[in-house]
Amino acid sequence: MTEPTTEQPLQDPVLEERRIKALGESHIIVRRFSRKEAEDAWAVHSIELKSQRLRTVFADIFEDYPNWFPDDNPFTFFPPFKPLVHRWERFTRKCEAETNKVTKMEMHIFRREIEPLLSISMSALKEAKLTGVSDFKSLWLLFAPGDLMFSREHGNDCLFKLVAAELVQPEDDDYDCARENRDKPYWTLTLGQIDWDGSRTGFALASEKVLQFDQPRLLSRMGVYPFEFAPDQQKIQEGLLARGRMFESLRGFHVKTCVGRKLVMRREPGESHKKLVAEPINGRVIVDAHAFYKCQNIVPPQLLRKIVDLRSCEGKEPTQKNDSKKDERKEDIEALTDEERLTTAPLVKGFDLKAKEWCRLNVSEVRDLTWNDIPYQNLVLDDKDKVALTAFADHRAHKTGFDDFVEHKGEGIVILLCGPPGVGKTLTAEAIAERARVPLYILSAGELGSTPADFEKALKNALMCSQIWGAMLLLDEADVFLEARSSNSLERNELVAIFLRQLEYYQGLLFLTTNRISTIDPAFRSRIDLVIPYKDLDSSARKQVWRNFINRLPPAEVQLSDTDFDKLAETKINGRDIKNIIKTSLILAARDKPLRMDHIDVVLGLRNRVEEMEFGRVSDSGSGR
């Protein structure tokens, strides 16, 4: 070790630096000093490791500690020696356990020389760990990169890996702070959390601020703090490990159910930017980060396999690009360690099939899906039609190889369900998808937008998502873009043209429902693979529909005879009306169970009175009164 002992002027700074460097090559460590002019005294400027043995030791100690030495000064420490303070206990344990005599000697020399420089910091750190209290400026002692940090995110317990902590002195124009805090220093914490981008797993980086506080504070009352100060650590770890295993299993593509809350991007009244807002959810979801980014044309965030990768990617923008192969997925799904499971994100990216919107879902609220074959069994449909529909649905899983002469053209299947309202067209699509164990993406014509631009964007997105997921797509009430084109409706003509163009290269199964098959555009007729016609329900069909709905109820809550069902079948109504009548009757029977014929008669009576009033208005209008 070399230390200047006299204050001799340097003749040539460059030559002097070379002399010190050459002298230092033969020493274990080099301690450099600088002079404080105000105090006319010398102070330690830096400490550099020269011994290759010590360098190997410290490389191991700082394995999970990013940026522990500057790029231009390898294996060099500067006051207040933060990395050494953070890893000193680990170093002393390793020093005692070292078996190589030469390495152990060098470690003891380093310890003897450096320990006095760290004594004040180590005493303060010991006191903070003992009391769980710290002042604002001393927080750096506890913010050790690589350590676990605890916080709450969207109501969930979360652990992060601390990547870096920086004390910031804001300027007056620092608009990241509230006005009252713009002149106060704050800590910026860079945190890493294990996430999944649809292709790979890694640490996503985020930042949190710790605003200045005047009095010493209990660490566990801060918004984010070292996990070692959290109460009930074992309980938290057990919960996070269980959630981490669920997160691990949800990578890739999954059809699930979710009951709880979803997070969606919303613009609140008076706000200029959208932000995540919690809303209730109860229904089927698709968990798929790949589609989340692809279908929204969002570049996934850059993920780091280890937080020590930070040095190699600082200042770089994400390099992933959304190519034209929207349905292509490349997944590198590796098993996680328990340490990684502890730091997994509490949310997964998904799609709410009922609301038809992208969202983030709480991992702990996602459940396995139970497919339901009852709708298929209850379909009031000719057996031959059922067989045909099933064969076409199975075709997507076992392609015959017969397609259009142009590659990827004409590979889709289009099934037209035509007939009056309430006869089971939508139910048919739902039942076939359920039996095939694939999701059903339902869109009505109104949800596709009113302008050609909006229509094309929404239709393209729905077709793309359905193809990526292998889902069946149902376009309900599709008359508006199926009708024959005419010279007096140019905008609707454009919708028909857009629809035909997008459909040309769709490779999935598409259901369309319409009430007016006679008006379909000739160009579209040639693209239909199967037509299933429906007619008004006859007495036998109505009786079956009544039974199907009633049989869903617990037997103890229903008191209807065969004669009652025969009587109900005489009323000429469609399946949708039957469903609504039963729903209203159940409300009437809530305080007078079980459900009986008199409850249903009340609802049917009200319905008949409404129809009589409507018929009367039509008659009055027709007579000119």
Torsion of CA 260, 263, 264, 269, to 10 degrees: 100
pLDDT top residue among 372 and 515: 372
Cα four-point dihedral sign 384, 390, 395, 396: positive
**Per-residue pLDDT averaged across 346-358, rounded?**
96
- pLDDT confidence tier of residue 1, bands split at 50, 70 and 90: very low
Mean pLDDT lowest among 168-172, 441-445, 543-547: 168-172
pLDDT of residue 325: 45
Mean pLDDT lowest among 126-130, 362-366, 572-576: 572-576
- pLDDT confidence tier of residue 185, bands split at 50, 70 and 90: very high
Q: Both tokens of residue 433?
A: 């998808």
DSSP, residue by residue, 360-418: EEEGGGEE------HHHHT--S-HHHHHHHHHHHHHTTS--S---SSTTSS-SEEEEEE
110 close to 54: Cβ distance less than 8 angstroms:
yes
Whether 170 has a pLDDT exceeding 80, the answer reads: no
Element (H, E) at 133: strand 133-134
Cα 217 to Cα 497: distance, rounded to the nearest angstrom = 67
Amino acid at 159: L
CATH topology for the 373-533 domain: Rossmann fold (3.40.50)
Most confident segment among 64-78, 176-190, 310-324, 557-571? 557-571
pLDDT of residue 523: 75
Whether 113 has a pLDDT exceeding 70, the answer reads: yes
Cα 133 to Cα 323: distance, rounded to the nearest angstrom = 52
Average pLDDT of the chain is: 84
Cα 228 to Cα 234: distance, rounded to the nearest angstrom = 11
Cα 552 to Cα 550: distance, rounded to the nearest angstrom = 5
Mean pLDDT lowest among 2-6, 130-134, 316-320, 332-336: 2-6
CATH topology for the 539-616 domain: Helicase, Ruva Protein; domain 3 (1.10.8)
pLDDT digits (tens, 9 = 90+) for 222-250: 999 999 999 999 999 999 999 999 999 99
Whether 401 has a pLDDT exceeding 50, the answer reads: no
pLDDT of residue 355: 94
pLDDT of residue 39: 55
pLDDT of residue 619: 43
- pLDDT confidence tier of residue 307, bands split at 50, 70 and 90: confident
Cα 322 to Cα 300: distance, rounded to the nearest angstrom = 9
Whether 10 has a pLDDT exceeding 60, the answer reads: no
pLDDT digits (tens, 9 = 90+) for 39-71: 556 677 788 888 899 999 999 999 888 878 776
Q: Please tell me the pTM assigned to this model.
A: 0.82
Q: Both tokens of residue 182?
A: 């713009």
With tokens 């004040």, the residue in question is 120
Q: Do domains 373-533 and 539-616 have the same CATH topology?
A: no
- pLDDT confidence tier of residue 392, bands split at 50, 70 and 90: confident
Most confident segment among 8-17, 178-187, 257-266, 593-602? 257-266
Length of the chain: 625
pLDDT of residue 308: 66
- pLDDT confidence tier of residue 167, bands split at 50, 70 and 90: very high
Cα 336 to Cα 312: distance, rounded to the nearest angstrom = 23
124 close to 141: Cβ distance less than 8 angstroms:
yes
249: CB partners within 8 A, 6+ apart: none
pLDDT of residue 618: 43
Element (H, E) at 41: strand 41-49
Longest dimension (CA), the chain: 120
Q: Among residues 78, 114, 111, 73, which one has the least CA distance to residue 92? A: 111
310 close to 484: Cβ distance less than 8 angstroms:
no
Whether 483 has a pLDDT exceeding 80, the answer reads: no
pLDDT digits (tens, 9 = 90+) for 308-337: 655 444 444 444 444 444 447 788 889 999
Listed in sequence order, the DSSP H helices in 46-81 are 52-61
Whether 452 has a pLDDT exceeding 70, the answer reads: yes
Q: Among residues 515, 480, 512, which one has the least CA distance to residue 498? A: 480
Element (H, E) at 530: strand 530-533
Whether 463 has a pLDDT exceeding 60, the answer reads: yes
pLDDT of residue 412: 84
What ranges do the domains of the chain cover?
Answer: 17-131, 139-174+181-231, 373-533, 539-616
pLDDT of residue 9: 43
11 close to 40: Cβ distance less than 8 angstroms:
no
Q: Distance from CA of residue 159 to its chain's centroid?
A: 17
